[in-house]
Structure 1
Amino acid sequence: MSKTTDATRTAEVERILRAFKKNPYEALDIDAFATDAEVKKAYRKKSLLIHPDKFQHEQGPEAFDLLKKAEGMLSDAAEREKIDSILTYARTLVLKEALGSGYSTKVADDDPRVTGMSPPFQIQLRTKAKQLILEESMDEKNRANMVAVNEANERAAVEAEKARRKRKVEEQKAWDERRDERIGDWRNYMHKEKVRKVKKAKKNLHVLG
């Protein structure tokens, strides 16, 4: 195996690792909206180039897994539709920014105004798509955080209610357990009051006599 081939394989591993992982087209290094045949061709070519059985590289297995994941995303109809919808919007934004009033939905990728873009159209498209995907991921993260906070608050409210009911049961139990004691205290109090009144009556009689 020549040094040039090793260098090429190493460069491909490093390229895949640098690629934006959430854009499978970028990981496979193909144009957005590539056909199924183009996707499979790119995956086959690149996977053979860096396959761990054919090329030993410390991060080769990781790069190979990323390739498989990218191909899998584009093979899944739902995943591909989601990615393509974001890229379609990214394409519209890039062309509107570049062409201004000259933009039209009919502008094709091979239009001279598109092919003559600098940086190249596909590079701008990847950059814009990355921005949109990250924004969407952040929105999803924020929504997930809000759900988590609400669920935590609900759990806290449930636990607080359980604790309140437990305290109420314990307080009632303590009240019931001290019933005899309270009755005894009341009887002692009444007895003392009766004795006090008797003594007072006798004292009054003694004073009058």
Structure 2
Amino acid sequence: MASSSNLDAVIKKNAADLAKELEVERVLNAFKLNPYDILDLPITATESDIKKQYRKKSLMIHPDKFKHEKGLEAFDFLKKAEDQLSNRETRREIDMIMTHARTQVLKEILGSGYSTNIPDDDPRLTNLRPPLEQQVRAKGREILVEDELARRRKTKLAYANEGAEKAKAEADVAARKRKVEDQAKWEERREDRIKDWRDFSHKKSKKNKKDAHVLG
């Protein structure tokens, strides 16, 4: 009997460890730009749902509870997702994108007869393949990727403009520096120029006198 109990315990532990391992892999494979995907929640989740789900998932794969080479990374993703959805402004932005995604999906499915007020349990939506939630997430993924790429292009352009402005500023500084140095050299050679001019004038004067004497 004791042997059977031990076997049951081992099987239960192995099953629990397998579930934790699968959860780590799920989090790591989730779409990182959508915190709903990371926490495995629908966009209709309440604040209470978010907190409960985060607690459940984080306790499941917490590095202190389950040793996995990428457990800490997965745990950090969960925490970031919970932070994003707990921040009203961040969640509002994500919800706007996902609402837009749902609208786009409804338009594709129902055509001109679509309405944003149609509930998910409407008969026209309950038997979809893939399910409505999955289609909305896929469309949301497309929009989020486009937004992220646009943000990166904007950041890259800003850095490029910043670099161009910096290069121009450095060129202006270098030009002013050269101008100052050239002016300083010009001033340094003033006496030499005056002497050269005097020598030239003196030689020219002597030549003119010599020529006048020959002609006379």
TM range (shorter): over 0.9
Displaced runs of 4+ in structure 1, greater than 6 A? none
1:163 pairs with 2:179: no
Match of residue 4 from structure 2: none
Size of the aligned set, in residue pairs, is 205
**Structure 1 residue 14 displacement after superposition:** 0.2
Match of residue 50 from structure 1: 61
Q: In the TM superposition, what whole-angstrom CA distance separates every residue of 1:136-183 from its partner, at most 9, and x where no partner exists?
A: 111111222222222222222222222222122111111111111111
Which sections of structure 2, spanning at least 5 residues, go unmatched? Answer: 1-11
CA RMSD of aligned residues (A): 1.3
1:61 pairs with 2:72: yes
1:201 pairs with 2:212: yes
The more displaced of 94-103 and 150-159 is 150-159
Of 143, 151, 175, the match for 1:140: 151
Of 175, 189, 199, the match for 1:178: 189
Match of residue 112 from structure 1: 123
Match of residue 98 from structure 2: 87
Match of residue 23 from structure 1: 34
1:75 pairs with 2:96: no
SS at match of 2:49: helix
**Percent identical across equivalent pairs?**
50
2-side partners of 1:2 and 1:157: how far apart?
65
The more displaced of 157-166 and 19-28 is 157-166
SS at match of 2:212: helix
2-side partners of 1:146 and 1:129: how far apart?
25
Q: In the TM superposition, what whole-angstrom CA distance separates every residue of 1:15-38 from its partner, at most 9, and x where no partner exists?
A: 000001111111011111211111
1:9 pairs with 2:25: no
AA in 2 matched with 1:139: A
AA in 1 matched with 2:14: K
AA in 1 matched with 2:107: K
Q: In the TM superposition, what whole-angstrom CA distance separates every residue of 1:97-152 from its partner, at most 9, and x where no partner exists?
A: 11112311221011122221111111111111111011111111122222222222
Report if aligned partners of 2:106, 2:116 keep a CA contact under 8 Å in 1.
no
The more displaced of 161-170 and 180-189 is 161-170
Q: TM-score, normalised by structure 2?
A: 0.90
Report if aligned partners of 2:20, 2:66 keep a CA contact under 8 Å in 1.
yes
